[in-house]
Structure 1
């Protein structure tokens, strides 16, 4: 299962663990993804999306229809 947000396209980032002795080892910063069901009243249907928590806040602010329309325009989702 890929760690990619369906609406924003957020992916894991790469960085370093830095110890007190300044030793650096590679690590990954994964996005905080949640599996969530959304109801779309225009289509009278439920869809399940894997979204980041920041995308959930955007959905709460703007509504699922507006966010889906923007994600389709940016090419993150085929809808």
Structure 2
């Protein structure tokens, strides 16, 4: 599975390593992803999502149901 957050859609970004001599080589910046299980009480089921740390904070603040509803409307959730 790709390194993409299933809630926010964050994915790998590309940038440069810059040395002291100002030489530039390509590198990747990966999102801080975690595989986490969530219980959805309305549907009475467990789901496993690959989420970023910012998505975890959003879920803790707003609740999994509200976040999933918003992500489904945006088209990010893959389950």
TM-score, normalising length from structure 1?
Answer: 0.96
RMSD between aligned alpha carbons?
A: 1.0
Residues 19-50 of structure 1: CA deviation (Å, up to 9, x unaligned):
00000000000000000000000011000000
Hey, what does 1:37 align to over in structure 2? 37
Structure 1 gap ranges (5+): none
Provide the residue aligned with 2:12 in structure 1.
Answer: 12
After superposition, residues 41-56 of structure 1 pair within 5 angstroms as 41-56=41-56
Unaligned runs of 5+ in 2: none
Structure 2 Cα separation of the partners of residues 53 and 47 of structure 1: 17
